[in-house]
Protein backbone atom coordinates (compact mmCIF):
# COMPACT_ATOMS: atom_id res chain seq x y z
CA UNK A 1 0.00 0.00 0.00
CA UNK A 2 1.19 3.52 -0.81
CA UNK A 3 0.48 6.49 1.45
CA UNK A 4 0.90 10.02 0.08
CA UNK A 5 1.42 12.57 2.84
CA UNK A 6 1.27 16.28 1.97
CA UNK A 7 2.98 18.91 4.14
CA UNK A 8 1.45 22.08 5.59
CA UNK A 9 -0.93 23.57 3.01
CA UNK A 10 -0.61 27.34 3.28
CA UNK A 11 -3.67 29.42 2.40
CA UNK A 12 -5.49 29.63 -0.90
CA UNK A 13 -2.32 29.29 -2.98
CA UNK A 14 -1.50 26.02 -1.24
CA UNK A 15 -5.04 24.69 -1.60
CA UNK A 16 -5.23 25.57 -5.30
CA UNK A 17 -1.73 24.26 -5.90
CA UNK A 18 -2.57 20.93 -4.30
CA UNK A 19 -5.76 20.57 -6.34
CA UNK A 20 -3.88 21.33 -9.56
CA UNK A 21 -1.00 18.98 -8.73
CA UNK A 22 -2.94 16.01 -7.41
CA UNK A 23 -3.68 14.43 -10.83
CA UNK A 24 0.07 14.35 -11.57
CA UNK A 25 0.83 12.94 -8.12
CA UNK A 26 -1.78 10.22 -8.53
CA UNK A 27 -0.45 9.29 -11.95
CA UNK A 28 3.15 9.16 -10.75
CA UNK A 29 2.73 7.51 -7.35
CA UNK A 30 -0.68 5.74 -7.41
CA UNK A 31 -1.40 6.35 -3.70
CA UNK A 32 -3.98 4.26 -1.91
CA UNK A 33 -4.34 6.81 0.88
CA UNK A 34 -3.78 10.58 0.92
CA UNK A 35 -3.17 12.43 4.19
CA UNK A 36 -2.85 16.23 4.14
CA UNK A 37 -1.71 18.60 6.86
CA UNK A 38 -4.19 21.47 6.69
CA UNK A 39 -3.43 23.55 9.78
CA UNK A 40 -2.48 26.60 7.70
CA UNK A 41 -5.12 26.14 5.02
CA UNK A 42 -7.35 29.04 6.10
CA UNK A 43 -5.66 32.31 5.17
CA UNK A 44 -2.28 30.91 6.09
CA UNK A 45 -3.22 30.14 9.70
CA UNK A 46 -5.79 27.66 11.01
CA UNK A 47 -8.40 25.49 9.35
CA UNK A 48 -12.12 25.92 8.68
CA UNK A 49 -14.86 23.64 7.48
CA UNK A 50 -14.66 25.35 4.08
CA UNK A 51 -10.91 24.89 3.65
CA UNK A 52 -11.10 21.31 4.89
CA UNK A 53 -13.77 20.65 2.26
CA UNK A 54 -11.42 22.04 -0.40
CA UNK A 55 -8.69 19.64 0.75
CA UNK A 56 -11.11 16.70 0.67
CA UNK A 57 -12.23 17.77 -2.81
CA UNK A 58 -8.56 17.83 -3.87
CA UNK A 59 -8.22 14.20 -2.82
CA UNK A 60 -7.41 14.07 0.91
CA UNK A 61 -8.71 11.03 2.77
CA UNK A 62 -7.68 12.44 6.16
CA UNK A 63 -6.45 15.82 7.40
CA UNK A 64 -3.98 16.47 10.19
CA UNK A 65 -3.37 19.83 11.85
CA UNK A 66 -1.12 21.47 14.45
CA UNK A 67 -0.66 24.44 16.73
CA UNK A 68 -2.93 26.79 14.73
CA UNK A 69 -5.89 24.39 14.69
CA UNK A 70 -7.99 26.56 17.05
CA UNK A 71 -7.35 29.88 15.30
CA UNK A 72 -10.93 30.04 13.97
CA UNK A 73 -13.50 29.59 16.73
CA UNK A 74 -16.28 28.84 14.26
CA UNK A 75 -14.49 25.58 13.42
CA UNK A 76 -14.76 24.03 16.88
CA UNK A 77 -18.04 22.17 16.23
CA UNK A 78 -16.69 20.99 12.90
CA UNK A 79 -13.57 19.57 14.57
CA UNK A 80 -15.81 17.63 16.95
CA UNK A 81 -18.03 16.23 14.21
CA UNK A 82 -15.62 15.48 11.32
CA UNK A 83 -13.83 12.24 12.16
CA UNK A 84 -11.43 12.52 9.21
CA UNK A 85 -9.81 15.66 10.67
CA UNK A 86 -7.49 15.27 13.64
CA UNK A 87 -5.67 17.70 15.94
CA UNK A 88 -2.66 17.01 18.18
CA UNK A 89 -3.57 14.17 20.53
CA UNK A 90 -1.55 15.58 23.41
CA UNK A 91 -3.72 18.69 23.71
CA UNK A 92 -6.19 18.78 26.65
CA UNK A 93 -8.74 15.99 26.34
CA UNK A 94 -11.64 18.43 26.63
CA UNK A 95 -10.50 20.49 23.64
CA UNK A 96 -12.50 20.28 20.40
CA UNK A 97 -11.57 17.48 18.02
CA UNK A 98 -9.76 14.17 18.33
CA UNK A 99 -6.10 13.17 18.22
CA UNK A 100 -6.33 10.12 15.99
CA UNK A 101 -8.64 8.45 13.54
CA UNK A 102 -8.85 5.23 11.55
CA UNK A 103 -9.38 5.25 7.79
CA UNK A 104 -10.48 2.11 5.96
CA UNK A 105 -8.56 1.48 2.75
CA UNK A 106 -9.85 -1.66 1.09
CA UNK A 107 -9.50 -4.38 3.70
CA UNK A 108 -6.91 -2.51 5.76
CA UNK A 109 -7.51 -0.09 8.62
CA UNK A 110 -4.99 2.74 8.78
CA UNK A 111 -4.49 4.75 11.94
CA UNK A 112 -3.69 8.43 11.47
CA UNK A 113 -2.17 9.98 14.61
CA UNK A 114 -1.43 13.68 15.12
CA UNK A 115 1.04 14.79 17.80
CA UNK A 116 2.56 18.12 18.82
CA UNK A 117 6.08 18.52 20.05
CA UNK A 118 6.46 20.06 23.50
CA UNK A 119 9.70 21.98 22.91
CA UNK A 120 8.72 25.63 22.22
CA UNK A 121 5.06 24.62 21.80
CA UNK A 122 2.19 24.36 24.30
CA UNK A 123 0.83 20.88 25.05
CA UNK A 124 -0.90 19.15 27.93
CA UNK A 125 1.09 15.92 27.89
CA UNK A 126 4.33 14.46 26.56
CA UNK A 127 3.97 13.34 22.93
CA UNK A 128 6.02 10.23 23.76
CA UNK A 129 3.69 9.09 26.53
CA UNK A 130 0.64 10.06 24.50
CA UNK A 131 1.55 8.05 21.43
CA UNK A 132 2.37 5.02 23.59
CA UNK A 133 -1.11 5.24 25.08
CA UNK A 134 -2.78 5.56 21.67
CA UNK A 135 -0.90 2.60 20.21
CA UNK A 136 -2.07 0.43 23.11
CA UNK A 137 -5.74 1.01 22.28
CA UNK A 138 -6.05 1.93 18.59
CA UNK A 139 -7.48 -0.80 16.38
CA UNK A 140 -5.71 -0.63 13.04
CA UNK A 141 -3.41 -2.62 10.77
CA UNK A 142 -0.75 0.09 10.80
CA UNK A 143 -0.37 3.73 11.78
CA UNK A 144 0.98 6.94 10.26
CA UNK A 145 2.14 9.69 12.65
CA UNK A 146 2.22 13.41 11.82
CA UNK A 147 4.62 14.88 14.38
CA UNK A 148 4.03 18.64 14.33
CA UNK A 149 7.10 19.87 16.16
CA UNK A 150 9.52 22.78 16.29
CA UNK A 151 12.94 21.25 16.87
CA UNK A 152 14.71 18.62 14.81
CA UNK A 153 16.10 16.77 17.83
CA UNK A 154 12.62 16.08 19.21
CA UNK A 155 11.43 14.87 15.81
CA UNK A 156 14.40 12.54 15.34
CA UNK A 157 13.89 11.19 18.87
CA UNK A 158 10.25 10.41 18.06
CA UNK A 159 11.36 8.48 14.99
CA UNK A 160 13.62 6.26 17.08
CA UNK A 161 10.96 5.96 19.79
CA UNK A 162 8.42 4.58 17.31
CA UNK A 163 10.77 2.61 15.04
CA UNK A 164 9.19 -0.77 14.35
CA UNK A 165 5.83 0.23 15.87
CA UNK A 166 4.35 2.51 13.18
CA UNK A 167 4.71 2.69 9.42
CA UNK A 168 5.89 6.30 9.35
CA UNK A 169 6.77 9.33 11.46
CA UNK A 170 6.45 12.41 9.24
CA UNK A 171 7.52 15.79 10.57
CA UNK A 172 5.59 19.00 9.90
CA UNK A 173 5.40 22.60 11.22
CA UNK A 174 8.70 24.17 10.16
CA UNK A 175 7.73 24.28 6.45
CA UNK A 176 11.28 23.54 5.22
CA UNK A 177 11.93 20.07 3.75
CA UNK A 178 14.81 18.22 5.36
CA UNK A 179 17.30 15.84 3.72
CA UNK A 180 17.01 12.95 6.19
CA UNK A 181 14.22 10.81 4.66
CA UNK A 182 14.97 7.15 5.36
CA UNK A 183 13.58 3.89 6.67
CA UNK A 184 14.85 3.28 10.17
CA UNK A 185 16.34 -0.15 11.07
CA UNK A 186 13.12 -1.69 12.38
CA UNK A 187 10.97 -0.53 9.49
CA UNK A 188 9.57 2.93 10.25
CA UNK A 189 9.82 5.57 7.52
CA UNK A 190 11.03 8.88 8.90
CA UNK A 191 11.67 12.47 7.84
CA UNK A 192 12.17 15.48 10.12
CA UNK A 193 10.03 17.75 7.94
CA UNK A 194 8.26 17.10 4.66
CA UNK A 195 8.02 20.81 3.84
CA UNK A 196 5.03 22.97 2.95
CA UNK A 197 2.61 23.31 0.08
CA UNK A 198 2.57 26.98 -0.82
CA UNK A 199 4.62 29.80 -2.31
CA UNK A 200 8.39 29.42 -2.40
CA UNK A 201 8.65 33.16 -3.07
CA UNK A 202 7.93 33.66 0.61
CA UNK A 203 9.06 33.25 4.17
CA UNK A 204 7.30 30.04 5.19
CA UNK A 205 4.35 30.98 2.97
CA UNK A 206 4.15 34.67 3.95
CA UNK A 207 5.05 37.60 1.68
CA UNK A 208 8.78 38.25 2.32
CA UNK A 209 8.48 42.02 2.64
CA UNK A 210 5.99 41.67 5.50
CA UNK A 211 8.17 39.24 7.44
CA UNK A 212 11.20 41.46 6.89
CA UNK A 213 9.29 44.49 8.14
CA UNK A 214 8.28 42.60 11.26
CA UNK A 215 11.79 41.34 11.98
CA UNK A 216 13.54 44.63 11.26
CA UNK A 217 11.14 47.03 12.98
CA UNK A 218 10.03 44.69 15.79
CA UNK A 219 6.53 46.10 15.27
CA UNK A 220 3.23 44.27 14.66
CA UNK A 221 2.66 43.51 10.97
CA UNK A 222 -0.38 41.86 9.41
CA UNK A 223 0.90 38.87 7.45
CA UNK A 224 -0.48 37.96 4.03
CA UNK A 225 -0.06 34.72 2.15
CA UNK A 226 2.35 34.81 -0.79
CA UNK A 227 1.04 33.51 -4.11
CA UNK A 228 3.94 33.15 -6.54
CA UNK A 229 5.84 29.96 -7.41
CA UNK A 230 3.66 27.48 -5.54
CA UNK A 231 5.17 24.06 -4.82
CA UNK A 232 3.60 20.97 -3.30
CA UNK A 233 5.77 19.04 -0.87
CA UNK A 234 5.36 15.80 1.02
CA UNK A 235 6.39 12.17 0.98
CA UNK A 236 5.24 8.81 -0.35
CA UNK A 237 5.59 5.81 1.95
CA UNK A 238 5.26 2.27 0.67
CA UNK A 239 3.85 0.07 3.43
CA UNK A 240 4.23 -3.71 3.38
CA UNK A 241 1.95 -6.46 4.67
CA UNK A 242 3.61 -6.27 8.11
CA UNK A 243 2.47 -2.68 8.46
CA UNK A 244 5.97 -1.26 8.18
CA UNK A 245 7.72 0.75 5.49
CA UNK A 246 9.66 -0.57 2.52
CA UNK A 247 10.53 2.91 1.26
CA UNK A 248 9.99 6.64 1.62
CA UNK A 249 10.25 9.07 -1.30
CA UNK A 250 10.17 12.83 -0.94
CA UNK A 251 7.74 14.84 -3.05
CA UNK A 252 8.68 18.36 -4.16
CA UNK A 253 6.93 19.49 -7.33
CA UNK A 254 5.91 22.89 -8.73
CA UNK A 255 2.19 23.39 -9.13
CA UNK A 256 0.94 23.92 -12.69
CA UNK A 257 0.57 27.58 -13.60
CA UNK A 258 -2.99 28.35 -14.66
pLDDT tens for each residue of 175-196:
999 999 999 999 999 999 999 9
Model pLDDT for residues 90-127, shown as the tens digit of each residue: 999 999 999 999 999 999 999 999 999 999 999 999 99
Model pLDDT for residues 29-44, shown as the tens digit of each residue: 999 999 999 999 998 8
As for how many domains the chain has, the answer is 1
Q: Is residue 97 part of a domain?
A: yes
pTM confidence score: 0.96
User: Domain of 221: which CATH number?
Assistant: 3.60.21.10
Q: Is residue 258 part of a domain?
A: no
Active-site residue list: 68
3-class secondary structure, 100: strand
Q: Is residue 42 part of a domain?
A: yes
Model pLDDT for residues 53-83, shown as the tens digit of each residue: 999 999 999 999 999 999 999 999 999 999 9
Q: Is residue 45 part of a domain?
A: yes
Which domain range does residue 159 map to?
A: 2-253
3-class secondary structure, 109: strand
Q: Is residue 210 part of a domain?
A: yes
Q: Is residue 34 part of a domain?
A: yes
**What pLDDT, on the 0 to 100 scale, is given for residue 5?**
98
Q: Is residue 86 part of a domain?
A: yes
Q: Is residue 190 part of a domain?
A: yes
Distance (Å, whole) CA 136 – CA 255: 40
- Exposure of 194 by Cβ count < 10 A (0-12 exposed, 13-18 middle, 19+ buried)? buried
Amino acid sequence: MKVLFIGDVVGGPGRRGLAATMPELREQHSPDLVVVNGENSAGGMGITEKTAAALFDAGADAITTGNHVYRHRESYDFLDSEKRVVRPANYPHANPGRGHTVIEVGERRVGVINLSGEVSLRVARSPFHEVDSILERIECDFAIVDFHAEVTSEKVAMGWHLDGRVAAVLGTHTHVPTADARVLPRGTAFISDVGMSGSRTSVLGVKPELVLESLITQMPVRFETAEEDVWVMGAVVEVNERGLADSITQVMVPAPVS
